[in-house]
Structure 1
């Protein structure tokens, strides 16, 4: 079983590489906006299409929770297969879109529900197989999810240049369905109370916390601190990745091709942050790693606030890179963080509920970005809002420490 868990990890990483294509939405949206306007005679902006991305992220926790129950009780294979096919099908059907409403149904609802179901299952399954490396494995599985947007934007841009935005959706959707079906053959359910050979949990570590189901979890005060801390931590990343291509073109005058590279840079540092923060959290503690991530978010957002023209390209890249690391840190640490606090037994459902914090950020982040640009014609005010969220997140990390110290002293 110790060798087999690595096979499961590799298979889940391939699946997450497919699922993480949601982070390449800004490239798809820019291309689809051009298609709607030039070919269909509509008046649509990339900002208008941010609603599709928002809905896709917002509905994910619904199937993360329901799919999590099936994952914990029946195994991940069927859950991932159904969810993965829904995601690929949503992409494929988006290639037939003739309106924003059509994309909301295909990409936002069908794809988003499938994405939440499959992603929650892959991450929770891997975390269960690696109780000795929860932070690192949570970082790796979520990092691969983020790496998709390093690989996909240049491919999508090339396909669009050669053919069209609708064809890009169809081609990518079919490829994703095939990859999901092959990869899921190697996924298995983790045995209950599994421990790797030669490893025993430290006597006083968080690994020995009482196993709680979702009912027990929501009765604890630290759950609400963790939930809103995740919202604050994910806010800046969700806000920027939803319209990264448009932001790069508008703020510092990048061409569409250069903006696609900027999207990949964000994704690359996002992925790096997930692995590094996951590893760091195994050494320094989850909450300490998240505190560092909040500080990094403030620094990165300040750099973006100061970027205003073509002379600020270097500062812009610094800003998006640092924000990417911060955002990735939260995504990488939270699977293990949740399992530490409430036990691995029910982690698929518990993490799905905790992921509501991410969904909140996924809704309000892009909307604030869009509304700010619509009302002011620039993004600076949106970055100030995001800085406020990062500061509040830092406060939540201290509040979490206070709550846990009081519990341990009683």
Structure 2
């Protein structure tokens, strides 16, 4: 059977593949919604501090460890998705993450919790995280940026859904029962959805798309290994800057509001929900933009927004609530944008057939940015006594990002023949 006939007869969920593939996006969103609960850790901190009689620094340890293992396992998993299969990888990650939550409900001290939640649950998140994006990218060769961006909305908006849910469960049943319930629910949900996550046949394309063109674009002829191109190193640096700036801003959103703008702590906390909306909505938008414009232009746009946000906060004063809200909406917006821009740019700039492995390597930039971003702003606050000085380096890094993006985020000459976008 040739590829054209195969495209016409292939079905998903009882529908022609061109229509059924759209159902994979909400399923991927649900998987990432469950995994993204790791970003709702602030809801668990106070109850755990009371339960385990620990301080604020100690209560942050499980979350920090989880981020490290999440960022470490995701790149490694990328090398095995094609070999082991999307269903098994998703099921394994979901099972490990769920078991981590369940075991955390029995933890009696912070060291055990750092292992059960940080190491085990964090590893599960890292293992399963990349699979829904790979599935969306493979099923949507014609709209890969939009599809990937929509899928990872689940991870970005997870705190909006899971944080209120977790708080309600904690109020009703306590912290231990909440971790147990979430672990069981996440395990069941991800295991069930994993059964539906599969990749299309090699060379598949939607009906009506020029199959021969798709094969040509996917062909490995004369395309250098990603690590042999300067565009990889440029993308890695740009992604690291975007993650570092964005995660720094996320970490200080509430204290900046209270210390610089001097607004009510309750209002400061509730404003995070607004920021999360911008973080989620930017993902499909930047995925769509990266489908249509060269990555260097989209990346430059994020850095311009970061510079604007940084200038706003450098000049922010007490009572300027609107300035604060606009600036931090932009910071969160750009971070969400990079989480769609980077995977789509990886598809655009390098061999699409190696996407799982390639994006796993590129994602290490996010891990480095996460580690630096969680400590830099706090260190600056300790040194200078105010968070205002944290926004000078964010503006400086954005300028560096513009320079790197405009000079490196383009295909090498050997890759130019595979697309009309440069």
Calculate the TM-score normalised by the size of structure 2. 0.84
Q: Is the 8 A contact 2:290 2:344 kept in 1?
A: no
Tell me the CA shift for residue 405 of structure 1: 7.0
Which residue is 2:161 aligned to?
Answer: 151
Task: Provide the rounded CA distance (Å) in 2 between the counterparts of 1:168 and 1:306.
Answer: 42
Matches of 2:245 and 2:204 in 1, distance apart? 37
**1:302 positional shift:** 3.1
Residue 74 (structure 1) shift = 3.0
Instruction: Tell me the CA shift for residue 270 of structure 1.
Output: 0.7
The alpha carbon displacement at 1:376 in A equals 4.5
User: Does the 8 A contact of 1:150 with 1:263 survive in 2?
Assistant: no
In 1, are the aligned partners of 2:349 and 2:411 still within 8 Å (CA)? no
**Contact preservation (8 Å) 2:98, 2:184:** yes
Which of 49, 53, 65 lines up with 1:41 in the alignment? 53
Match of residue 273 from structure 1? 282
Alignment check: 8 A CA contact 2:346 2:359 kept: yes
Determine the structure 2 residue equivalent to 1:235: 244
Q: Are residue 334 (structure 1) and residue 342 (structure 2) matched?
A: yes
In structure 1, the residue matched to 2:293 is 284
Q: Are the structure 2 counterparts of residues 203 and 39 from structure 1 closer, same or farther at C-alpha, using a change threshold of 3 Å? A: closer
Partner of 2:191: 181
Q: Conserved in 2, the CA contact under 8 Å of 1:239 and 1:365?
A: yes
Q: What SS does structure 1 have at the residue aligned with 2:298?
A: helix
Checking the alignment, whether the CA contact within 8 Å between 1:94 and 1:106 is kept in structure 2 is yes
Deviations 1:42-79 (A, max 9, x none): 3x22x554454343233234322332233112320110
1:6 partnered with 2:22: yes
Give the one of 329, 349, 370 matched to 1:362: 370
Matches within 5 A, 1:234-383: 234-242=243-251, 244-253=253-262, 257-307=266-316, 309=318, 311-383=319-391
Match of 1:130 in 2: 140
Partner of 1:15: 31
8 Å contact from structure 1 (residues 242, 366) kept in 2: yes
The separation in 2 between residues aligned to 1:123 and 1:249, in whole angstroms, is 37
Residues 123-168 of structure 1: CA distance to partner in whole angstroms, max 9, x if unpaired? Answer: 1111111010011112111222101122223333334444544444
Unaligned runs of 5+ in 1: none
Displacement of 1:304 in angstroms is 3.6
* Aligned-pair CA distance for 1:284: 2.1
Q: Post-superposition shift, 1:372?
A: 3.1
Q: Which residue of 2 aligns with 1:76?
A: 86
User: Residues of 2 paired with 1:203 and 1:151: CA distance?
Assistant: 41
Root-mean-square deviation (Å): 3.0
Shift of 1:315: 2.0
User: Could you say what secondary structure the match of 1:169 adopts?
Assistant: helix
1: CA distance, partners of 2:264 / 2:366: 31
Say which of 109, 120, 126 aligns to 2:119.
Answer: 109
| Distance in 2, Cα, partners of 1:268 & 1:332 | 15
Give the Å deviation of 1:247: 4.6
Distance 1:307 1:53 in 2: 30
Q: Is the 8 A contact 2:349 2:410 kept in 1?
A: no
Please say which structure displays the higher CA radius of gyration: 2
- Comparing 125-134 with 170-179, greater Cα deviation is found at 170-179
2:41 alignment partner in structure 1: 25
> What is the CA–CA distance in structure 1 between the aligned matches of 2:214 and 2:88, rounded to whole Å?
36
Q: Indicate the SS of the match to 1:197.
A: coil
How far does residue 39 in structure 1 lie from its aligned partner after superposition?
Answer: 4.2
Q: CA deviation at 1:110?
A: 1.3
CA displacement 1:326-360 (0-9 Å, x = unmatched): 11111112222112222222211111111000000
Bigger relative contact order, structure 1 or 2 (CA pairs below 8 A, ≥6 apart): 1
Correspondence for 2:13: none
Q: Find 1:224's aligned residue among 211, 233, 245.
A: 233
Shift of 1:375: 4.3
Alignment match, 1:65: 75
Query: 2-side partners of 1:212 and 1:88: how far apart?
Result: 44
Could you list the per-position Cα deviations for residues 72-97 of structure 1 after superposition, in whole angstroms to 9, with x for gaps in the alignment?
Answer: 12320110111122223323333444
Does 2:185 correspond to 1:169? no
